[in-house]
Amino acid sequence: MNLIATSQGLARLDDDGAVLLDLPFADVAEMLAAGEGFAPAHAARERDRIPLGELRPPLGSTGAIWGVGLNYLSKARLTGRSVPSAPILFLRSPSAVSAPGAEVPLPQDRSSQVDYEGEVAFVIGRPMLRTPPGEVWDHIAGITAANDMTARDVMVATATPTLAKSFPGFGALGASVLELSAVDDPERIAVRTSVNGTVRQDSSTAELIFAVPELISRISHFAALRPGDVVLTGTPAGTGQDRGVFLCPGDEVEVSVAGVLPLCTRYR
């Protein structure tokens, strides 16, 4: 099951487009919060076939978005930084979430170093608290793509990731949410980022420093994770920071995660 959020409700993707489902939920996060995972979508009556038009954030009502810094070996090698002994965790404001295809304003009065970060995101399906790594997969509902945008100069000036990542539109998620059971290999999920059509990042979660079960288990030992919450997994080498080139008005970034509808963000 691969779901998108539209103005008419949730829809299931198939080879020919999308099928609108008879569900009372505005987005996937709201459906997961009901506590039955993807079961409501599987059981829902099909209402109509619809074109892939303007999409809404599939996780716009999520309660928490967790991120992690320096979690790819390629990024650590490129920057020359030591591999961390524990995940570097932070929270982003849910108000920063933007829709697939959104045009995001660059906060040019506050930052001249806005950067993209293509990432694989995991969506929680069952409540988690002190969950052992060996049980984490049973608590995950699905995956999606994320563009973990960061104002690098704000990060340096404030030493606060949350401020650098919570400008309006900086939390792009989507464009679809793929059920975990449909993922070929959860330990090796490909992620690719292109900027204005040129590939800048190309890796997979097999290269993570802290694998998904370890990462999410650690968060659950400090905070309760609820259905619909999102956990980002870090970004590989190839960001604008790595090249000394940051985003400008008119740029377009596309993040592709295996099996998920590509996530496109434009800037003005």
The tens digit of pLDDT for each residue in 106-148 reads 999 999 999 999 999 999 999 999 999 999 999 999 999 999 9
Nearest-angstrom CA–CA distance, 181 and 85 = 31
Q: What's the pLDDT tens digit per position in 173-196?
A: 999 999 999 999 999 999 999 999
What pLDDT is recorded for position 124?
A: 98
Q: Looking at the predicted structure, is the pLDDT value of residue 79 above 80?
A: no
**How is residue 12 annotated by DSSP?**
E
Q: Looking at the predicted structure, is the pLDDT value of residue 154 above 90?
A: yes
CB 1 within 8 A of CB 10: no
CB 104 within 8 A of CB 268: yes
From residue 181, how far is each of 81, 109, 178, 187 by CA, in Å?
35, 44, 8, 13
CB 101 within 8 A of CB 226: no
What pLDDT is recorded for position 77?
A: 85
Considering the chain, what is the average pLDDT of its residues?
A: 96
pLDDT, mean of residues 68-86:
87
What pLDDT is recorded for position 83?
A: 86
What pLDDT is recorded for position 82?
A: 81
pTM of the model: 0.96
Q: Looking at the predicted structure, is the pLDDT value of residue 101 above 80?
A: yes
pLDDT, mean of residues 216-239:
98
